Amino acid sequence: MLNIVLHEPEMPANTGNIGRTCVATGARLHLIGPLGFKINDKMLKRAGLDYWDKLDVTEYDDYNDFLAKNPGAKVYMATTKAHKTYTEVNYEEDCYIMFGKESAGIPEEILVDNEDTCIRIPMIGDIRSLNLSNSVAIVLYEALRQHDFSHMNCEGHLHRLNWKE
């Protein structure tokens, strides 16, 4: 099972959307505090729709609490400062993919200590970053693709109607 980690997220709507994506993919969500909202925030629930109660979510007081409760975890860190793109790594089935807060990303001191596992999404020009929930979806689905979407429904079904009647 893949793990999505949000380091100090600020916007409840983004976190709600990410929670919904996690439910749809079977990923766990880890929230590292302090959060910029309360977990019962109506914007969070609104963005997550009726999926929030199905979400496997864990909260942590801070980054050190996260490390203490997940010893030895392989953590990839999404940042615009990375040398490698998100497609250049092989995601382990139980790895963690961390994303920083909307206004500042993952703190530089954390990135420096984990430079080998930093990844980036390519962009053109001087664009600062993509929306957090979009970034999570891009990287998460690459990790799932690498595992052949092993536990997911990969085939849809059309309901054929007789349109000539």
Annotated binding site: 100, 121, 129
The answer to whether the CB of 87 falls within 8 A of the CB of 142 is yes
Nearest to 113 by CA among 137, 81, 139: 81
DSSP-derived secondary structure for 17-41 = HHHHHHHHHT-EEEEESSPSS-TT-
Residue positions forming the annotated binding site for S-adenosyl-L-methionine: 100, 121, 129
Bond prior to 34 in cis (omega within 30° of 0): yes
The answer to whether the CB of 131 falls within 8 A of the CB of 40 is no
